[in-house]
């Protein structure tokens, strides 16, 4: 992720400094005019906005507070942006340590994968003070289409974890759908084409994430009829899929969970599903 993100900053007016544990990774950037630093401390000696894209919490700690880390040379007012998906606890702890030196550490995880980074279409979720968010919003725009201020330090990571919760649960649901389709004698690659095509039109799961709260919806609320319609369609189709799975001998635990949880999750309660339908497939 770091390389395509950095590539889009090569023509940044203030210049670009790059650093990597593997010297060969920085060679294309040096050839394009970027300055190369041998260690994180050397980056902080030149830059006041520093993006960190490493693997995990331990590597983030080493890069930021290690013996040759960013904090050893960072000037007051420097903003360290951690794009890695780490624990929100780690982000908060490191931010406190950095604050003692007058340095801002913000958690700024990204979503959109390698294609989004290459196309400059990432989403960045920033956790940190307004002052730090203002400092990074413009440079982040070089590699991101959407830059949001999630809240205080830690909020960016919490938003990324919620986003990825949906991502990987959806993947698990996709494997369940594939098992059902395969058992039914269908080409699951063709099913994948249909899913990608229609999700691009409807927005997929994000299409229902428009309310400001997860509280129950009052019948007088304009959302009630919309979400009730979604629930009714969903319960009907889920019951039909469960019937098909039962006939084909395919266990569909996520479908059963969705049948009982869709309406309450949308805030409109269960619809027309009968208790016997749920028990039949439990």
If phi over 0 gives left and psi between -120 and 50 gives alpha, with beta otherwise, what is residue 178?
A: alpha
- Please tell me the distance from the alpha carbon of residue 8 to that of residue 90, in angstroms, as a whole number: 28
CB atoms within 10 A of CB 23: 11
Please, are residues 241 and 255 in contact by the beta-carbon 8 Å criterion?
Answer: yes
- Active-site annotation holder among 160, 193, 236, 279: 160
What is residue 123's three-state secondary structure?
Answer: strand
Longest dimension (CA), the chain: 69
> Bridge-partner residues for 254, per DSSP?
none
Strands 122-127, 144-151: pairing is parallel
Please, are residues 231 and 266 in contact by the beta-carbon 8 Å criterion?
Answer: yes
- Please tell me the distance from the alpha carbon of residue 94 to that of residue 74, in angstroms, as a whole number: 14
Tell me which DSSP letter residue 35 carries: E
Please, are residues 123 and 146 in contact by the beta-carbon 8 Å criterion?
Answer: yes
Nearest to 98 by CA among 157, 160, 50, 143: 50
**Which residue is listed with tokens 């990324």?**
160
- Please tell me the distance from the alpha carbon of residue 255 to that of residue 280, in angstroms, as a whole number: 13
Nearest to 65 by CA among 37, 91, 88: 91
193 among known catalytic residues: no
Catalytic residues: 160
């Amino acid at each position: 992720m770091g390389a395509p993100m950095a590539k889009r900053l090569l023509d940044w007016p203030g210049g670009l400094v790059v650093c990597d544990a593997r010297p060969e990774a920085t060679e294309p950037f040096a050839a394009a005019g970027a300055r190369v630093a041998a260690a994180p401390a050397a980056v902080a000696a030149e830059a006041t906005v520093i993006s960190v894209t490493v693997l995990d919490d331990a590597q983030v700690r080493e890069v930021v507070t290690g013996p040759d880390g960013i904090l050893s040379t960072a000037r007051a007012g420097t903003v360290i942006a951690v794009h890695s998906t780490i624990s929100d606890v780690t982000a908060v702890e490191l931010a406190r340590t950095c604050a003692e030196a007058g340095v801002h550490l913000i958690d700024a995880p990204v979503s959109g994968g390698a294609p989004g980074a290459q196309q400059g279409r990432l989403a960045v979720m920033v956790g940190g003070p307004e002052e730090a968010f203002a400092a990074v919003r413009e440079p982040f725009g070089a590699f991101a289409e959407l830059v949001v201020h999630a809240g205080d330090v830690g909020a960016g990571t919490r938003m990324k974890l919620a986003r990825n919760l949906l991502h990987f649960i959806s993947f698990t649901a996709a494997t369940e759908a594939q098992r059902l389709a395969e058992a039914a004698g269908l080409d699951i690659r063709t099913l994948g084409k249909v899913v990608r095509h229609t999700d691009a039109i409807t927005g997929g799961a994000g299409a229902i994430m428009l309310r400001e709260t997860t509280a129950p919806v009052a019948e007088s609320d304009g959302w009630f009829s919309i979400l009730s319609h979604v629930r009714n369609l969903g319960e009907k189709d889920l019951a039909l899929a469960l019937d098909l799975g039962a006939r084909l001998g395919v266990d569909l635990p996520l479908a059963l969970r969705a049948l009982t949880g869709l309406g309450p999750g949308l805030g409109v309660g269960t619809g027309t599903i009968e208790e016997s339908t749920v028990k039949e497939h439990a």
